[in-house]
Amino acid sequence: MNEGKRSTQIINNTLLTDFYELTMADGYFQTGKKDEIAYFDMFYRRVPDEGGFAIMAGVEQLVDYLNNLSFSEEDIEFLRTKGFSEGFLEYLRDFKFECDVWAVPEGTPVFPYEPLVTVKGPAMQAQLIETFLLLTINHQTLIATKTNRIVRAARGRGVMEFGSRRAQGASAAVLGARAAYIGGAVGTACTIAECEFGIPALGTMAHSWVQSFETEYEAFSKFAQLYPDNCVLLIDTYDVLNSGIVNAIRVFEENRDKLTKFGVRIDSGDMTYLSKEIRKRLDEAGFENATIVASNSFDEYLIRGIIEEGACIDSFGVGERLITAKSNPVFGGVYKLAAIETPEGKITPKIKVSENTEKITNPGFKKLYRFYDKQTGKAKADLITLADEPIPGGEEGRPYQIFDPDHTWKRQIMEDYECKELQVQLFDKGKQVYELPSLQEIKSFCREQIHLLWDEIKRFENPQKYHVDLSKKLWDLKQQLLLDHGRIADKGSFEE
């Protein structure tokens, strides 16, 4: 497959930020905090569609953004009209990104409250990148997650992303196609996505092609002559069974020795009944290798339903409900301060406290690990620790006790496991140190990692909750900070 060209940032997106990020940055500058080191975490709280997991995506575009972060003279002149201090504007003129950044690689299944991205660096810089970081990770993670649900519902049948015309803007169409490919789509209708990313651009004809000829037969015949290697005929313009499939079979017979890849597409009607009847007629005519493509307002539930009914469909074109994640169109990732580092190098953990317990954050500079069962290879649980803690179980993988951070009496001894750190470092003091994988490598990695999840976690309804636990040291720190703030409910105590 053509890998395409590495997409690069053409437009300077530095001002694609919430205005208060700049206000705070100027505030940090004027109060002498511009060089104070801050630690921020990006994480999410709920899986879309009440599913069992999400799929990390959008890292490549984050890297592009950070590599191109700079302020033009036009930017500075505009900000001057907004009343920012002259010292701050001079700082922006020579701005250089200097943060350390870690992220979970694209294609990784991820779970609520896990640090997907961690940023360490000057507070004003770490604050400034919040908006773009969230929008790119939130959007692509949402679409990759939704696509994978649809792909799993299709049970091995190809899913094509057909949503460009329903996407929320141009970049959502292009990057949505990218995210859909990571999630398992086999291709896209968005031509520029192949140019930019190497995603196969697919598609044949619209109803207007058929309508533009005197007869449906003529429309099909001309198309077969022009495109013998991709002759998929849309047969529902007038009457699927009494006209469309009849004319399609006639054209296939006339071009039997010329066609290498051919089939029919239906875009309306009872997909189960029509596809069964179409399959029967194609087979009776000797075209067992002709494919049946279906497109309509599909989602994972509709696809699952018609497959269970015995629909004879080889692949699906899925549009608006995929590209907009229509059933749950917002991925609620957030970006929260986790710690401040003093000039002497002491890390002071920070916590956000709320009456809404799901909004209470995990404090401190952290690491994220995943336990894999050595016998099955399956993922068993994830663990969030403080960064200065040793590898769980040590290099030897000794038995290690985990516990539910909300119900601390629920414990499990991990044995015979392999433990892997999930985040990789993207930037070291503003310099990229991570080699971006190709999109095909990300797609393959995603498929492999999802295979390592238990089927119970992949259920659409009432999926088994995957364990994401806190280390004892991190849990103790969190409880102490909550006690210090006087906002903790009586949850009992944890003892070794």
Q: Which pLDDT value is given to residue 271?
A: 97
Asked if the structure places residue 88 within a domain, the reply is yes
Whole-structure pTM value: 0.95
Q: Which pLDDT value is given to residue 11?
A: 64
Q: What is the mean pLDDT of residues 175-203?
A: 97
Asked if the structure places residue 213 within a domain, the reply is no
pLDDT at 10 over 70: no
Q: What percent of the chain has pLDDT over 70?
A: 96
Q: Which pLDDT value is given to residue 3?
A: 64
364-421: pLDDT as tens digits: 999 999 999 999 999 999 999 999 999 999 988 999 999 999 899 999 999 999 999 9
Asked if the structure places residue 398 within a domain, the reply is yes
Q: Which pLDDT value is given to residue 2?
A: 56
User: Helix H segments across 316-367?
Assistant: 320-323
Across the chain, mean pLDDT equals 94
The more confident residue out of 350 and 34 is 350
Give the domain range for residue 395: 19-143+329-485
Asked if the structure places residue 49 within a domain, the reply is yes
Q: Work out the pLDDT band at 479, boundaries 50, 70, 90.
A: very high
- Contact, 163 vs 318, CB < 8 A? yes
Asked if the structure places residue 50 within a domain, the reply is yes
Q: Which pLDDT value is given to residue 495?
A: 42
Q: How many residues does the chain have?
A: 496
Asked if the structure places residue 452 within a domain, the reply is yes
The domain tally of the chain equals: 1
State how far the alpha carbon of 476 is from the alpha carbons of 363, 385, 470, 472, 484, in Å. 11, 11, 9, 6, 12
Which range among 169-173, 482-486, 488-492 shows the weakest confidence by mean pLDDT? 488-492
279-299: pLDDT as tens digits: 999 999 999 999 999 998 999
pLDDT at 6 over 60: no
Q: Residue 411 sits in a domain of what CATH number?
A: 3.20.140.10
State how far the alpha carbon of 121 is from the alpha carbons of 44, 96, 100, 404, in Å. 22, 12, 6, 32
Phi and psi (nearest 5°) for 85? Answer: -65, 150
Asked if the structure places residue 283 within a domain, the reply is no
Asked if the structure places residue 291 within a domain, the reply is no
